[in-house]
Amino acid sequence: MSGSTFGELFRVTNFGESHGPAIGCVIDGCPPGLALNEADIQHELDRRRPGTSRHVTQRNEPDAVEILSGVYEGQTTGTPIALLIRNTDQRSRDYGNILDTFRPGHADYTYWRKYGLRDPRGGGRSSARLTAPTVAAGAVARKWLLQQHGTTFTGWMSALGEIEIPFESEAEIPNNPFYAPSAGIVPQLEAYMDSLRKAGDSCGARIEVRARGVPVGLGEPLFDKLDADIAYAMMGLNAVKGVEIGDGFASVAARGSVFGDELLPEGFAANRAGGVLGGISTGQDLVVRIAIKPTSSIRTPRRSIDRQGQPAVVETFGRHDPCVGIRATPIAEALLALVVMDHALRHRAQCGDVRLAQPAIAAQAAQAAQATPPDGG
């Protein structure tokens, strides 16, 4: 209720502060019998980790995850899986100057007003570091979904600040620190980041995430629609200011005569809806795009006030990504996986005994429309 638990049946309860002793999460509701070890999780954590290129926070800690419970002899037991990540590189001295003032664009002011006090060390609970346990939980969901349904999750950066990134090849995504699906654009992105860093400034980004092999029928019709829960998950990610499903805002100016995706015996003729109709998955790719605002922690001095309401000037030193969007891709993938996982269990609970005489579109046919290369949004 205080917002630290994600999901209804695959429930992830997150804890920790950026510079406290540890961060982590408890996953309750994981099906039993899933082969799981620390390496399965560590792999995803390493993708998210700071310090992996010069364009992201130079926080040098391993983010090593420890499984505290819920796994016995390499298999999940159906009881809560507690994951612990110790904070080893805390450097809380960097943040001393922000105790009494409020950084523009940050949660400093709102935390203080809500709770009457706040942990100022490294942003405390509002730090993007708290996405690490989410990524860890997402790794568990991804493994189960892959085994049970063949579902996979892929994200990439489609814009860095003013630079639109063309979608050339999914194979390129892991080859650069930006998760850009294009090799040719990388030098331009690197130069852009360097100039921002030099200027003490920051920029935003747009990320696209897709899920493939999603079972048909996930999502609840009225309020907990699959797309509503995706929007909730994505807008909750630090710095996100917008979410689109399928054609998103482009659908405003579209006509109904071309917009509604036609159905053919071999599958849907298009996927403008982004894989969801009436809040329920169609079996097509889930297509999600998010807008990330520029990092608020910048060296450039900005006007603010202190707790007494007096004018102050704030500059933020310490390590900060000039674009938090660079690390957002694996996090957005994890969030999408958590939403799909939760709805897979919810669907099984209510509709586990539904049998259709004949699905109108065979499973492989339903995927037809998405065999074409993604258009990047």
Using CB under 8 A as the binding rule, the residues of this chain from 233 to 272 that contact a copy of itself are: 233-236, 241-257, 259-265, 269, 272
State how far the Cα of 276 lies from the Cα of 252, in Å rounded to an integer: 17
Q: Which positions ≥6 away from 356 have C-beta within 8 Å?
A: none
Could you tell me if 220 and 159 are in contact, meaning their C-beta atoms sit under 8 angstroms apart? no
Nearer to a copy of itself, 171 or 356 (CB): 356
Closest CB to a copy of itself among residues 29, 51: 29
**Residue from the set 45, 65, 102, 173 that interacts with a copy of itself by CB under 8 A:** 102
- Binding to a copy of itself (CB under 8 A) within 17-76 occurs at 17, 20-24, 26, 28-33, 66-70, 72, 75
- 343 strand-pairing partners: none
Per CB under 8 A, the segment of 50-58, 99-107, 170-178, 186-194 that binds a copy of itself is 99-107
Contact set for a copy of itself, span 174-233 (CB under 8 A): 199-206, 216-225, 227-233
Give the tokens for residue 3.
Answer: 């917002």
**Stretch 298-317 residues interacting with a copy of itself (CB under 8 A):** 298, 300, 302-311
Residue 162 gets which letter from DSSP?
A: T
- Under the criterion CB under 8 A, does residue 356 sit at the interface with a copy of itself? yes
The least distance separating a copy of itself from the CB of residue 160, rounded to whole angstroms, comes to 9
For residue 54 the two structure tokens come to: 């010069």
* In the complex, least distance from residue 174 CB atom to a copy of itself, rounded to whole angstroms: 23
Closer of 70 and 155 to a copy of itself (Cβ): 70
- DSSP per-residue string spanning 71-100: EETTEE-SS-EEEEEE-----GGGGGGGSS
Residues 120/98, Cβ–Cβ less than 8 Å: yes
Amino acid letter, 240:
V
Q: Which of 39, 171, 354, 371 binds a copy of itself (CB under 8 A)?
A: 354
Decide if 66 contacts 38 (C-beta within 8 A): yes
